[in-house]
Amino acid sequence: MKAWWRWLALLLLSLLALQLFFVGRVALMAVVDPKSTTFERSEAWRIQQEKGTLRWRQQWVSYDQISDNLKRAVIASEDDSFAWHEGVDWESMEKAWQKNAAAEERAAKLAAKLAAHSERAVKPPKIVGGSTITQQLAKNLLLSGERTFLRKGQELVLAFLLERLLNKRRILELYLNHVEWGEGVFGAEAAAQHYYRKPAARLTAGEAARLAVMLPRPRYYEKLPNSLYLSERAGVIVGRLYRAELP
């Protein structure tokens, strides 16, 4: 019995130490611009292993050196309540959960129906996210890309830490400088140069909207620059720019 309590105490101390480590890392980001993130490093390693070369484009630029068009487009596309929420949009998460559950149920029924008549595999259901910009930043900065309840729980904790230790402007600045925009392409400046051969400060509303729409699947849309969905969705985002509130 004593051994059981000892292991429990060690586990709790380890969890506490991890949270204190995260508090220190997040607090430091208020004044220090991180050179890379956990996600960027893991992607660099993956590309190195798969292709035998290191492909990593990322250049830090200040908040004022990023076009307001891109800031507004990303907020309109990814997190339209960014200016008001405290790190998590519970309503969006619940809607995403319901959509994913319904999609998985439809896929399971279709698989069962086809099993008796065909060997054709059923396409996996499309999983939609309900994460805020703050949650995405928390995941990219400090966490792995695995999908587990434990990782999601840690993401929520980090999102609340980010909101309490940093202001909204700094959170958006960090996000835009490190979010993935293609294979080995990270941050607004690298994306602007990669796709439009211009600095992030000079992005037009249309260019910014296209970049914002790419964010859920950047490597996919990098290979499909003429995607009809990309163009149509970008048009919708351009029409919503004026409604996006900047920090």
Cα separation of the two ends of the chain: 53
Residue ranges of domains in the chain: 34-89+130-243
Of 221, 198, 244, whose CA–CA distance to 78 is shortest?
244
Encoding tokens for residue 137? 């930043």
Positive or negative, the Cα torsion across 94, 97, 102, 103? positive
The more confident residue out of 106 and 68 is 68
Tokens 């940093």 locate to 166
Report the pLDDT value the prediction gives residue 103, as an integer from 0 to 100: 46
Segment 17-52, tens digit of pLDDT: 767 777 778 888 889 999 889 899 888 888 888 887
**Domain 34-89+130-243 CATH (choose: 2.60.40.10, 3.50.30.30, 1.10.3810.10, 1.10.3720.10):** 1.10.3810.10
Encoding tokens for residue 45? 């390693």
Amino acid at 203: L
0.85 exceeded by pTM: no
Segment 123-182, tens digit of pLDDT: 444 444 568 999 999 998 877 666 667 777 888 888 999 999 999 999 999 999 999 999
Low-confidence winner among 40-49, 58-67, 188-197 (lowest mean pLDDT): 40-49
